[in-house]
Amino acid sequence: MKTTTSDMGRNRTGVATSPIDSADITQEAQKHQPSHLGDGSLLLQVRKIYARESEGLGSVPPPTSLKGVAKTAVEALKGSKPTVFIDKLGERLAFERSGTRLYEGALAKFDVYGSWEGGPTREGLEKIYNDELSHFLMLTEALKSLGADPTAMTPSADVTAVVSQGLPLLISDPRANLRQSLEALLVAELTDNACWEMLIELARDLGHDTLADRFQLALDSEGQHLLWVRGWLAAGVSVEARGAPAREERAGTQPRV
Amino acid sequence: MALDILQEKGVPLDKQVFTWKDLVRRPYSKLDDDAFTRVCVIYMNGIMADALRTKHAFARMNRELREPLALIRRLEQYEQTLINWLNPPDQTPLETTLGFEQVAIEVTASVALREPDPYLAQTYRFGLLEDFDHLYRYSALYDRIEGKDPNNITQSYTDIIPGRPTSVEHRHPLDDLRRPYDKRTAHPLTKLHAMSITAAENQTHDYYMTVGPFFSDPVARQLYAEIASIEEQHTSMYESLLDPGESMLEKWLMHEACEVYNFYSCVAFEKNPRIKEIWQRFLDYELGQLHYVKEIFQNVERRDAAEVLPSTLPEPIGFKEHRDFVRKTLNQEEDMASNGQDYVRMADLPRDHRSYIWRDQLNSDGSPSETVAAGYKWIPGTELASRTPRMGSTFEGKKVH
């Protein structure tokens, strides 16, 4: 069953679905006093207690080669903390790798749900898929060149995966159509753009100019991805709002960039 | 129409087959399906989890029955999978938890209303008020950490107000044990009820033990730890109602009857035709399993199964709201406590009672259920909706704070 996103149906979550029952339970809730004094801020106090006892999420692994050890020592002598760069490179690598899987999922949605006027084309989605994959490869090489282990999950990689847990959850849910899946891709692309910008700044600050130049190429293509995804999504919402059905065949066109 | 379980043979075991595609169906909708569809899915998963749990325990203690137990267990494992996988992926562990507590409230209320034995009925009312409070505590957690309205899940069927406060539910283990029914004199419905509620509470315990560590908020982790402890108490309490003098085969036979009875109840109430068809299919499967076990029972025990089984099933469990009953119970019995197997008013327990000592020790570092719900009053649209009126209307161009 392929519905557009916003069909009217039997949604039962709101109180207006059952006016008599909801008036009754609201009245009953107002009659009863909470059994304990205070407010929601007590939760935050407990969080603070635990935060003070915390030792963080984990660490960056040591360099994998003698060359890496030497580089780390040099960086440290220069007064910088090389693990920060490794950590952020590990984060981008993880995000690009997951991003590739997101576009794989989106391609499957494309085949089932079809596209719409101004929506994604198969070629457009494949182009982004290939870009994400090549960014993953580039970051793997960058980490190796610094003597770091590209297979390790760094703390920032973990953070960004926790933050974006919902993205693969939605893309892999067969009930979420292509338009809904694009909402997840937009979040991914917005994050990706902002994070590449920061990574380039960090690389320049640390004197890794060659890497920064390569990263700039990645950022250029990420900027293009963001424009496309935002355009596809906006067109999709607009097509739905006009009541036009999604097309089953590959009818989408790429917005001009 | 009453179901004659001795006449209805159901589907024979060798015709009860599955495929992976069949096991993993399209889930119900969190948004569109009735809350009682979720209630039945969660509850029946609990019934099947207990079917497996009990039969594994039997198999560990009985050489002769290992083979028939293995055969039926496998079928029930598939039934459980199909049922549990009807929970949708956009339903978070905390949302499913709200569903669990709605099960505990509405199913226990239905059972308490119909239970013919007054002592067991009191036990159900006692446990009901405690689970009722859990819904309120988890609702506060859901509202306060996720900013969502718990009533989106419970759909205005169930009150979201404090019951017997969770912080006073902690008891000495010996104050959880109850007097069992007598297998010779108990009404069949009494046996079905005790088995069903034990199953439901046991799965609730296991679920909280599984999902608790998924939460990042320390209060959420503490709350799951606290309520899982009560669910263990409840499991011990309800389990102790079962007559330990029943033979293993008698228990097995009654378990199959219990599964038949519960699927029969789901068929009676289900509004979603796609899900109803599953309940009907498993009702037929369970009837087949019941007759298979009935033969074993008669051959091994040399007794007529009709001595143990009811010929027709009692009225189905009422999968519907029970607010009036719950409110009345709360009004009259909120301050009950238990002293060994007996119920007393809390004020009548001496201050040096073992349960007070137990509870005070557990709460001595603070109480998660009090922290999470301090000052919490549910209103539609979350408690933040009660704060915004102070801001006046932003819609009409007034200042946005």
- ipTM field: 0.90
pLDDT reported for residue A28? 97
Per-residue pLDDT of A10-48, as tens digits, reads 999 999 999 999 999 999 999 999 999 999 999 999 999
pLDDT band at A81 (very low <50, low <70, confident <90, very high): confident
Nearest to B29 by CA among A7, A151, A82: A7
Q: What is the pTM of this model?
A: 0.94
pLDDT reported for residue A251? 43
Query: Which chain A positions have a beta carbon within 8 Å of B371's beta carbon?
Result: 38, 42-43, 46
State the Cα–Cα distance between residues B253 and B260, nearest whole angstrom. 11
pLDDT reported for residue A1? 43
Comparing CB atoms, the residue among B32, B153, B155 nearest residue A18 is: B155
Comparing CB atoms, the residue among B218, B366, B379 nearest residue A50 is: B218
Query: Which chain A positions have a beta carbon within 8 Å of B219's beta carbon?
Result: 43, 46-47
Sign of the four-CA dihedral B348, B354, B355, B358: positive
* Contact flag B375-A24 (C-beta cutoff 8 Å): no
pLDDT reported for residue B401? 55
pLDDT reported for residue B392? 73
State the Cα–Cα distance between residues B381 and B361, nearest whole angstrom. 37
Query: Which chain A positions have a beta carbon within 8 Å of B164's beta carbon?
Result: none
* Contact flag A12-B372 (C-beta cutoff 8 Å): no
Question: A255 pLDDT exceeds 50?
Answer: no
Residuewise pLDDT in 10s, chain B (401 residues): 689 999 999 999 999 999 999 999 999 999 999 999 999 999 999 999 999 999 999 999 999 999 999 999 999 999 999 999 999 999 999 999 999 999 999 999 999 999 999 999 999 999 999 999 999 999 999 999 999 999 999 999 999 999 999 999 999 999 999 999 999 999 999 999 999 999 999 999 999 999 999 999 999 999 999 999 999 999 999 999 999 999 999 999 999 999 999 999 999 999 999 999 999 999 999 999 999 999 999 999 999 999 999 888 999 999 999 999 999 999 999 999 999 999 999 999 999 999 999 999 999 999 999 999 999 999 999 999 988 777 777 677 666 55
* Contact flag A40-B374 (C-beta cutoff 8 Å): yes
Q: Give the nearest chain A residue to B217 (CA atoms).
A: A47
Nearest to B164 by CA among B111, B235, B234: B234
Question: A86 pLDDT exceeds 80?
Answer: yes
Nearest to B255 by CA among B207, B308, B307: B308
Query: Which chain A positions have a beta carbon within 8 Å of B32's beta carbon?
Result: 9-12
pLDDT band at A252 (very low <50, low <70, confident <90, very high): very low
pLDDT reported for residue A257? 39
Nearest to B237 by CA among B196, B180, B193: B180
Q: How many CA atoms lie within 13 A of B47 on its CB side?
A: 32
Mean pLDDT of chain A, nearest integer: 91
Q: Looking at beta carbons, which pairs linking B71-78 to residues 24 or more positions away fall under 8 Å?
A: B71/B13, B72/B13, B72/B289, B72/B292, B72/B293, B75/B13, B75/B16, B75/B285, B75/B289, B76/B48, B76/B51, B76/B52, B76/B259, B76/B289, B77/B48, B77/B52, B78/B18, B78/B23
pLDDT reported for residue A250? 44
Contact (CB, 8 A) for B242 and B178:
no
Q: Which of A11, A35, A54, A158 to mutate to test the interface with B (most CBs of B within 10 A)?
A: A35
pLDDT reported for residue B243? 98
A243 touches chain B (CB under 8 A): no
Segment among A179-188, A237-246, B257-266 with least mean pLDDT: A237-246
- pLDDT, mean of residues A63-69: 78
